[in-house]
Amino acid sequence: MTTHIGVDFIPPDVPGKVTGEIKYAEDYKREGMVFARLLTSPLPSGRVINIDATEALRMDGVVGVFTADDLPPSAPPGNPSLASNYVTYVGQPILAVAAVTEEIAESAIDRIKIDFERRDFVVDPLESLTPGGSNAYPEGNVLVRTREEGPEGTPIIGAEIKDIKWPQSAIDAIRAGKEPVGGEFTTEWNFGDLEAGFAEAVAIIEEPFVTIGYPHHSLEARTSMAYWENGKCYFHGSSQSQSANNNGLARMLNIDPADLVFINEATGGGFGSKIGPYPVMAISGNFSRVLNRPVQLRITREQEFYIGSARSGIQGWIKIGVKADGKVCAVDLAIVNDGGATGGGSGNSSAQHVTVAYQPGAMRYRGISVYTNTTPRGAQRGPGQNEMATVLAPITDKAARAVNMDRIAFRRVNVIDSDGRQGGGQGPVTSAFVREALDQGRRLFGWDDKISQPKKNGSKVRGIGVGIGYHGAGGRGYDGLVRIGTDGKLYIHSGVGNLGTYSYAGTCRAAAEALQIPWDRCEILHGRTDRHLPHSSGQGGSNTIFTHTRTNWVAAQDAITKLKEIAANDLGGNADDYEIGDERVFLSADSSQGLSYAQAASRAIELGGKYSGLEYPDDINPITQRAVQGLAGTGLIGVAKDTIPGQGQPPGIQVGFCEIEMDTDTGKFEILDYAMVADCGTVVHPKNFDNAMRGGAVWGVGLATLERHVYDPQNGLPANTGLYQSKPPTNMDVNVNTKIAATNIPDPQNPTGGRGIGEPTQGASAAALASAISDALDGHLFNTAPTTTDMIIDHLAGNEYSTKSLKTNTF
Amino acid sequence: MPSHDVMPNMELYQPVQVEDALAIADRLAERGWLVGGGQDTYGWLKDRAKTADALIDLSAIESLRGVREIDDGIEIGALTTITEVATNPLIRQSYSLLADAAGVVASPQIRNIGTLGGNVSQDVRCWYYRRGLSCYRAGGNLCYADTPQGMNREHALFDTSRCVAASASDTAPALVALDASMVIRSLNGERVVAAEDYFVGPAIDILHTTVLRPGEILTAVRIPSSWANASFYFEKVADRNVWDFSLVSIAAAFKVSGGTIEDSRIVCGAVQTTPRRVTSAEDAIRGQARNAATAESAAAVSTNGARALAHNGFKIPLMQNLVRRAISA
């Protein structure tokens, strides 16, 4: 089974990306289209008293103004498309103006007068938890998930805002790097006997840490264009996902999902910020309906900073107990997340990373996510896990040193394996081969040789680091849909979004593999709802490879079953008497007796029923049902829901190894070597795997050392809204000759063997680099992500800095 | 806060002769905005943080481009791109300090468009100022950065008078170190100003960073031969290795004879509003052996008078280290 899986190919959108011919949402124009621009809040917190758009509406070329009054009401803690009453961060959209040119729309924005009532604001979550501290919302400062019993015992999951303050002693404690005793948390779980666990320890490591949020800054800003025809909304948007957008976006437009055509053939980056429909999408679609003409809402680079989401920050404390043999026996973890204007944090995922890295016998996690008047936060590549991996790596090194263990050996003793458990629920995993990855990486990197080399050379000092990245990497229960046409070709309908990782195409290889058909006889249909795309997962969480190789596999199996049944019907015998090969279905005992795929497809149309898609399984999603209805009668339809047996979370895991040379005069360092080994099951598409590994490695440098929010506590303004100001790493900041490998051990719960790997690539890189920086400085713990140049210089100069004042968003 | 990214409506003049440009600049005076490569200009205008009625695009004036030998050194046209400055054989041969500085400006793309005249004349880097806040430099009556809570990691250590913004140019310290002169023309004729005097700090003029006035155009930079082929040292420390501004930079030229430093010009960037001559270090090393001990002692006095803000204290040891490296290199 190696025709397609594990073999390189060229995804169909690559030529267009090379030539520039491919179109993104902003590239689409429509006759009569008008240009909408946003007016955004100048205040971090306040109330909109009055909007006077009279002067703007009088301008030649202005066709309309769209406010929250034109949308369904949105109550906090939701993230409204347009502020309806309170504004809670600088840059929050308040209204949109549409005009016949962009220039007129921008000029019109300046002629709209808004009266605000100012409110106190807060950019530091600890400041908000302090007695008397400001709340980001009038209703409070903390997002609390609620769970109530609904009809027939069905829980209703919700969220509300509460006003929570900590005693000053708890604030003082966490600011001083100690356990915030007496502080109230909103999430807590534990397993094992924590007290007994710590009693077994020969070494206790207790450290504070801070990770600072930073924007996604997707290169393609979330511009959208919408128009309506014959009752349907045609929506050009920028999304990581395709079919997963349908229902949510249809709700935003208050239409039946059947009346939505979502078009998104290519996406210029999302990194977690475009997994599903996002609030601003409601504006172009609804504004277009109001104006009865196509509307393009173009989002500027600065606005992409404001509304394009960001990683949550953490202010935390961890206590780790280690036994003499190096086994972590107990962990106590407390996290205060900076949830920005949307309140959500990733503390639980951070804690999950700890469970995977250490497999402690006992652990307690306490978390609270605090609203601040800063940009909305959301998922960003390994949310929670990757920033935790970064600060945890040097702390792990310290733990290893405490019991005189090699740092890799320490990780080897503790990390998850196939029998391991992850998260607060201590659920199983489908498989895990991290020890194999550590051993492979140790050799690939030359750890033993590097670790024994001289460390100092003049002002230069070398540092060697190792890190582990982890993220759950797969889901179950989605649908696959393929069609064999009367031309004998295989048409693979993919509801997977093209977020730039090419997994939409890689996963289709599973169908070709199962049907044993050459790739040049396959065609992928994706990127538009009206191409009849099945129900698919959102393209987030590194899940696509596992999830949709399986769906395409089961759809292909359904097609194979139907091929055999048609052959048996026409040529005699039972379906089991037939097999496939060379684009034919034929009698196993006499291969001359058979039908070509083209012939079988024609017969499927003639037979109708389930063969041509006139009938379909009951268990497929309504989205897939509509897709099958659209294809009915056009060929042999293979369609199925993924019900492949199994349990546990498929993990995506990577180990990274980093060597740096730091200049102690300047605080700058050069990455001399970086090697990484992925435990992601079978590598489905080697070239794309290589790309994912390199991309993650690059961004890991940003997470560990460069990227951070900076907010002014005096006025709530963000300092670095531009791309260059946010300092994502450049090609000059990273190691170019990266060594890349995979364990390539198949996951037993995927017929193709694959699991996802996207997110951990960043976490492992960041963790390995943080570990190397600490090693270069004789084990000094900055306990920050990022650790920036100034922090290193200050440390070398003996200036007190960084974790002496635990802050996210500000210095 | 309104977010803009299209150009505002404004007049556009595209002269091809410098005389025409001077006439237009004179006529428009404060209403006009000179633009070369536009790498500083377009941000201001698109953000609407600054405005002008008319743009005077100098980029078509060929006479303002190129590097020429003159009687005593070289003359570089103000519109010469940073890439050309970094790669020009004449500059590389005798004035490599400038070429080295130009080679680390911003990014290759910006260096291909940005000009030497623009690089030295660009406005200061203070994110509060560039956001359009009404600070002293913008005509207001406060400084947002020079407060206990100000986010001032990148700001200045020296000579901060109501404004703590730092000079952003990488080539400016090199030109001061090379004792360059700036050629300024107007309808009234030509005046030549020492590079060191071209830049003005906030204590003298808080609204401007150079002596250039409405109606004037920086047409060329002249570098005398007096420092040609001296012993040069340039280093820029920034968070990123490309597409970033200096945290601190140093440009230094030494005349060394028999191991003794006869003279030097040491200039740091990004530590005050203008390139900073580190005269304390120059004085300390004059007549001294060029060795580690000399470097160490000079480094120690190089930051005398520095006043660290809440978050830029790291610049003091960084500057000292760079001074030490420059001298001991």
Question: Does residue B213 have a pLDDT over 50?
Answer: yes
Question: What pLDDT does B262 receive?
Answer: 98
- Is the Cβ pair B9, A107 closer than 8 Å? yes
Question: Does residue A82 have a pLDDT over 50?
Answer: yes
Chain B neighbors of A666, CB-CB under 8 A: 235, 237, 318, 321-322
- Is the Cβ pair A730, B239 closer than 8 Å? no
Residue that the structure tokens 């130009």 belong to = B102
In chain A, what are the domain boundaries?
Answer: 384-419+427-472+649-804, 479-641
For range A695-699, the mean pLDDT: 96
Question: Does residue A80 have a pLDDT over 50?
Answer: yes
- Is the Cβ pair B149, A713 closer than 8 Å? yes
Under 8 Å CB-to-CB from A107, ≥6 apart: which residues?
A59, B9
- Is the Cβ pair A799, B314 closer than 8 Å? yes
Helix (H, G, I), strand (E, B) or coil at B27: helix
DSSP single-letter state for residue A164: -
Q: How far apart are CA A249 and CA A255, in angstroms?
A: 9
Question: Does residue A649 have a pLDDT over 50?
Answer: yes
Task: Residue A736: name the closest of A771, A701, A770 by CA.
Answer: A701
A52-79: per-residue pLDDT in tens?
A: 999 999 999 999 999 999 998 877 777 8
Model confidence at A803, pLDDT cuts 50, 70, 90, reads: very low
Intrachain domains A384-419+427-472+649-804 and A479-641 with the same fold: yes
Chain A neighbors of B131, CB-CB under 8 A: 717
* CB contact at 8 A, A455 and A462: yes
> Which residue intervals of B16-62 are DSSP H helices?
18-28, 41-47
Reported as half-sphere exposure (CB side, CA atoms, 13 A), residue B180 has a value of 34
Token representation of residue B76: 């570089």
Of residues B9 and A444, the one with the higher pLDDT is A444
Averaged pLDDT of chain A: 95
Model confidence at A806, pLDDT cuts 50, 70, 90, reads: low
For range A9-33, the mean pLDDT: 96
Task: Please state, for a pLDDT cut of 90, what percent of chain A lies above it.
Answer: 93
Determine which of A51, A789, A796 to mutate to test the interface with B (most B C-beta atoms within 10 Å): A789
Chain A neighbors of B147, CB-CB under 8 A: 714
> Which residue intervals of A456-615 are DSSP H helices?
503-506, 509-515, 544-571, 597-607, 609-612
Instruction: Tell me how crowded residue A731 is: count the other CB atoms within 10 A of its CB.
Output: 9
- Is the Cβ pair B151, A799 closer than 8 Å? no
A309-348: per-residue pLDDT in tens?
A: 999 999 999 999 999 999 999 999 999 999 999 988 899 9
Look at domain A479-641 and name its CATH class: alpha beta
Under 8 Å CB-to-CB from B53, ≥6 apart: which residues?
B10, B11, B28, B31, B32
Question: What pLDDT does A804 receive?
Answer: 57
Question: What pLDDT does A603 receive?
Answer: 98
Nearest CB among B149, B243, B314 relative to A793 is that of B314
- 3-state DSSP: chain B helix, strand, coil percent, rounded to 5? 35, 25, 45
- Is the Cβ pair B311, A300 closer than 8 Å? no
Q: How far apart are CA A786 and CA A723, in angstroms?
A: 17
A229-245: per-residue pLDDT in tens?
A: 999 999 999 999 999 99
A374-386: per-residue pLDDT in tens?
A: 999 999 999 999 9
Chain A neighbors of B322, CB-CB under 8 A: 665-666
* CB contact at 8 A, B113 and B100: no
Look at domain A384-419+427-472+649-804 and name its CATH class: alpha beta
Determine which of A100, A717, A735, A809 to mutate to test the interface with B (most B C-beta atoms within 10 Å): A717
Averaged pLDDT of chain B: 97
